[in-house]
Structure 1
Amino acid sequence: MGVAHSVDTRLPFGRQLAFGIQHVLIMYTGCITVPLVFGAAVGLDRATVGLLISADLLVAGLITLVQSLGLGKLAGVRLPIICGATFVGLNPMVLIAKQYGLDAVYGSMLVGGVIGIALAWPFAKVVRLFPPLVTGTVLTVVGVSLIGVAGGLIVGADPKAPSFASPGNIGLAAVVVLVAVGFICVGRGVWSQLGVLIALVVGILIAVPMGLVQTAGIGDAAWAGVPQPFHFGAPQFPITAVVAMSIVMAVVFAESTASMLAVSEITGKPIGKADLARGLIGDGLSGVLGGIFTAFIDTIFNQNVGSVAATRVFSRYVTATSGVILVVLGVVPKIGAVVAAVPKPVIGGVGLVLFATVAVVGVNTLRRADLSDRINATIAAAAIGVGLLPEMVHGMFTKFPTSAQILLTSGVTLGAGTAFALNLLFNHTRLGALARRDPTPEPPVPARV
């Protein structure tokens, strides 16, 4: 028998648990932000928002388990990935809730998930059209755009708040970055791999005397909070809402395809059309479960892709352990409240390292795309520029129709779409061959005397 790939190997229980916790701490804030923002936007009370958070964590845990371990031959890419609620669906969900009601939000999400499952195999057949030129470009856009998210966690979201851009918060994040970099670069073995978790712990310990660890909500959190199916009533299916959530699912497919190919690149574990299709079915399944349990559509969290790249821990059983932890957090809100007490500057400091790692992986992937070719270099430049534009200029597309905003406000989607379309045009049609022809005529061969 051959040696098992590192993706398919199990670690000792203690290390597997530690790395699993590390993944959860990295993704937790981003995961629960979606229900928090959605609840505030549609005017839900605190108790109902708490139910949404529990449902969100439960579905994220279940989908992470499916993607890591697989569900027979039906679903799951079987790679070390963490899934959580996507921001892509947030704006459409708010608009659907205000126009049709919450029962329509989750009815359209359920149908969008079913449509996604039906389209997973056809979508997977275009995987050959995602070469390193496309995936490297998308990863670069993802990594650079996420740095702004890390910065927001460090300095705060409200410029009018007294704590905004606090030197103390920035200093705390700087210490976290230094500790993470120090352990990852200088540490050996498990100490290097656990550098992110150690940095998180050090950051929390420093944050306690600074008064940044808020424990007030822990006592109020319930010990049990299993989400009930169809909490807002029987689902409704307005055509406009169903179309909007189906578009969201298509966008999530584009993001997840790039992410799965990236993890395959990082781990050295090749994936085929069948693997990719099963991974996309996992995305669709998140829509179905989200519609039933009033949660959210999940996507692959790229900050955790960065963690896989930084720690070089490739075991999918580690992320499966994270999935179990998320399920427990989903049904025991009090534990979730403890995790939520980790200060945002600490998460932001760690995120800064991990997000930049994703960008570096993208640049490294692009090195395989022959950027000495002027057309390939131009494709990458145009796609990165277009992808970063909405991230750098917020509100750029607010005057566009809602359906268009779903696509245009996602820099990842714009970058991926641009790279995909230009690569298809110039590398898979006769136009590319014509464009690469050297217009300079060859010098005449001297006649023999």
Structure 2
Amino acid sequence: MTVSSVSPSPEKRPEDENLGIGANLAYGLQHVLTMYGGIVAVPLIVGQAAGLSPADIGLLIAASLFAGGLATLLQTIGVPFFGCQLPLVQGVSFAGVATMIAIIGSDGAGGIPVVLGSVIAASLIGLLITPVFSRITKFFPPLVTGIVITTIGLTLMPVAARWAMGGNSQAADFGSVANISLAAFTLGTVLLLSKLGSASISRLSILLAMVIGTVVAMFFGMTDFSKVLEGPLVAMPTPLHFGMPVFQVAAILSMVIVIIVTLVETSADILAVGEIIGTKVDSKRLGNGLRADMISSSLAPIFGSFTQSAFAQNVGLVAVTGIKSRYVVATAGLILVTLGLLPVMGRLIAAVPTAVLGGAGVVLFGTVAASGIRTLSKVDYRNNMNLIIVATSIGFGMIPIAAPSFYHHFPAWFETIFHSGISSAAIMAIALNLLFNHFKAGNSDQQSVFVAASDRTLRYQDIAALNDGDYFRDGKLYDAEGNEVTILGEDDHHGAPPAQRAKPTTAASPSGG
């Protein structure tokens, strides 16, 4: 007789579900619409600071879309040693905007090659130090990840507010009733579709609300599609269009600080999305994701783009829709590559009013914060300093949001690190968690007045030995006949005669634990 042994199949990960071409396209487009404004903002700001012509700024934007799409494909599909295979959209990081403008400020338009050279060199340095960051998962318990996820959502809310007001603070209609009303209409549409629609409609509520909001904006003359067909329909990003990269030591050192911030934020995003979709993220997977970030950042300048990192707003979209498939986000990467090759498609999406994005952003970014709060609800706050760790870290992360100029008089490297609320909260949460929960020397038994009040709880084994009819009076235990039952101390239990112990009975055992 032959006995066949069947090896157990590996557990299927939620991110590996493939929803099919149609669903991937629809949900992928939703991801692109969510992050499009953010991905084009950096090249627009940097190009204007460098005094580039509109045509060259357009090339910067196309290059950023193209590079972001390739980076997204690498991160979601993955190759050996590169890519965490999680639903993360990659794009140009905001962390380096101030540093790149500072580099450009010293050389004018000629600073673009210096910026590109510093990004290449700093990213390669970042690639070398990723093993350090990939081994920090043990320092990211729910206490820390919950703080980071909550802070990501909260720090993005000003972005949603600016979008709702119109996006461009120099525009005459910035903050107008019309813009905010359009954002409110889009928000209401998202909520209505989520409540009344089917499961499919509810998951596409963000995309459908954006389409409906854009149609309404057209009806009231708040958007213009007339310029969609102006310019080339197809354009391949030209390698080294801005000249050979220039490597300057000072610029590279400044950009290394940006890369460290990017590594911290990407680590937080990878761990956050893993927590949201319910999948395991170990040090190997984190390292693969960080390496994909760094190799993408080092190659992006060849096409005229900058540092690449995971987009936090798309983490919010994953939380809102519940769509965990990495193939959806990989499809978004293909759409971004296409937009980089087809400027006409980019101009079409760019015509979506910013106020429409603002209405959807309130739900997206608020959901990220709510996911973090849900994670923090799993944390034990009894007789420890976890509550004050949460309070201090989130408060520290809110400082750059509440007062953007708070660190302006600090050294440039310090401002670069702590001007990001996400990296500020992450650094503080990790440091305080180490101080109070890992290095316990000197911790007091009565930790602090800030310690959360302990819930009144009883262990199952404390009450399993009670019989029906047992009751307490004046600090003594009596059985149903009124006979006192001896209560033993912790040290006396094992030496006491069986007759003196309260005898366990299955009838009295509590049924629900």
Counterparts in 2 of 1:104 and 1:2: CA distance versus 1, 3 Å: closer
Alignment partner, residue 419 of structure 1: 429
Question: 2:100 is matched with which residue: 89, 93, 98?
Answer: 93
Alignment partner, residue 44 of structure 1: 52
- Conserved? CA contact 1:7–1:79, under 8 Å: yes
Alignment partner, residue 64 of structure 2: 56
User: Which amino acid is the alignment partner of residue 55 of structure 1?
Assistant: A
Alignment partner, residue 442 of structure 1: none
Whether 2:303 is the aligned partner of 1:293: answer: yes
Question: 2:155 is matched with which residue: 127, 145, 150?
Answer: 145
Q: C-alpha deviations, 1:86-111, integer Å up to 9, x for none?
A: 11001111111222522111111001
Alignment partner, residue 206 of structure 1: 216
Alignment partner, residue 18 of structure 1: 26
- Distance, in Å, in 1 between the alignment partners of 2:193 and 2:11 is 29
User: Which amino acid is the alignment partner of residue 105 of structure 2?
Assistant: K
Alignment partner, residue 27 of structure 1: 35
- Distance, in Å, in 2 between the alignment partners of 1:185 and 1:393 is 37
- Distance, in Å, in 1 between the alignment partners of 2:325 and 2:184 is 30
User: Which amino acid is the alignment partner of residue 367 of structure 1?
Assistant: S
Alignment partner, residue 77 of structure 2: 69
- Distance, in Å, in 2 between the alignment partners of 1:52 and 1:333 is 11
Whether 2:444 is the aligned partner of 1:435: answer: yes
Secondary structure at the residue paired with 1:369? coil
Deviation at 1:2, TM superposition (A): 6.0
More displaced stretch, 286-295 vs 347-356: 286-295
More displaced stretch, 242-251 vs 352-361: 242-251
User: Which amino acid is the alignment partner of residue 397 of structure 1?
Assistant: Y
User: Which amino acid is the alignment partner of residue 16 of structure 2?
Assistant: D
Q: C-alpha deviations, 1:303-323, integer Å up to 9, x for none?
A: 111111111111100000000
Deviation at 1:130, TM superposition (A): 1.0
Deviation at 1:364, TM superposition (A): 0.6
Alignment partner, residue 409 of structure 1: 419
User: Which amino acid is the alignment partner of residue 6 of structure 1?
Assistant: P
- Distance, in Å, in 1 between the alignment partners of 2:345 and 2:167 is 25
- Distance, in Å, in 1 between the alignment partners of 2:216 and 2:382 is 48
Deviation at 1:158, TM superposition (A): 5.6
Counterparts in 2 of 1:189 and 1:158: CA distance versus 1, 3 Å: closer
Secondary structure at the residue paired with 1:211? coil
Q: C-alpha deviations, 1:197-245, integer Å up to 9, x for none?
A: 1111110111101212222432223122222222222222111111111
Deviation at 1:254, TM superposition (A): 0.6
Alignment partner, residue 167 of structure 1: 177
- Conserved? CA contact 1:116–1:283, under 8 Å: no
Alignment partner, residue 133 of structure 1: 143
**Structure richer in helix, relative to its length:** 1
CA RMSD of aligned residues (A): 1.7
Identical positions, percent: 39
User: Which amino acid is the alignment partner of residue 303 of structure 1?
Assistant: Q
- Runs of 4 or more, structure 1, over 6 Å off, are none
User: Which amino acid is the alignment partner of residue 186 of structure 2?
Assistant: V
Query: Which runs of no fewer than 5 residues in structure 1 stay unpaired?
Result: 440-444
Deviation at 1:182, TM superposition (A): 2.1
Counterparts in 2 of 1:28 and 1:175: CA distance versus 1, 3 Å: same
* TM-score when normalising by structure 1: 0.94
- Distance, in Å, in 1 between the alignment partners of 2:447 and 2:214 is 60
- Conserved? CA contact 1:286–1:296, under 8 Å: no
User: Which amino acid is the alignment partner of residue 434 of structure 1?
Assistant: N
Deviation at 1:159, TM superposition (A): 5.7
- Conserved? CA contact 1:221–1:337, under 8 Å: no
- Distance, in Å, in 2 between the alignment partners of 1:60 and 1:372 is 44
Alignment partner, residue 379 of structure 1: 389
Alignment partner, residue 246 of structure 1: 256
Q: C-alpha deviations, 1:85-142, integer Å up to 9, x for none?
A: 1110011111112225221111110011111111112210111101111111111111
Counterparts in 2 of 1:363 and 1:235: CA distance versus 1, 3 Å: same
* TM-score when normalising by structure 2: 0.82
- Distance, in Å, in 2 between the alignment partners of 1:160 and 1:407 is 28
- Distance, in Å, in 1 between the alignment partners of 2:381 and 2:296 is 37
- Distance, in Å, in 2 between the alignment partners of 1:49 and 1:2 is 48
User: Which amino acid is the alignment partner of residue 262 of structure 2?
Assistant: V
Deviation at 1:181, TM superposition (A): 1.6
- Conserved? CA contact 2:384–2:447, under 8 Å: no
User: Which amino acid is the alignment partner of residue 443 of structure 2?
Assistant: L
Q: C-alpha deviations, 1:313-349, integer Å up to 9, x for none?
A: 1110000000000000011111111011000010010
Alignment partner, residue 91 of structure 2: 84
Secondary structure at the residue paired with 1:213? coil
- Conserved? CA contact 2:234–2:343, under 8 Å: yes
Secondary structure at the residue paired with 1:208? helix
Secondary structure at the residue paired with 2:222? coil
Secondary structure at the residue paired with 1:84? strand
Q: Aligned pairs, how many? A: 438
User: Which amino acid is the alignment partner of residue 320 of structure 1?
Assistant: A
Alignment partner, residue 494 of structure 2: none
- Conserved? CA contact 2:27–2:204, under 8 Å: yes
Alignment partner, residue 500 of structure 2: none
Secondary structure at the residue paired with 1:308? helix
User: Which amino acid is the alignment partner of residue 27 of structure 2?
Assistant: F
- Distance, in Å, in 2 between the alignment partners of 1:38 and 1:5 is 40
- Conserved? CA contact 2:383–2:446, under 8 Å: no
- Conserved? CA contact 1:31–1:57, under 8 Å: yes
User: Which amino acid is the alignment partner of residue 93 of structure 1?
Assistant: M
- Conserved? CA contact 2:274–2:280, under 8 Å: yes
Larger Rg: 2
Question: 1:278 is matched with which residue: 288, 291, 294?
Answer: 288
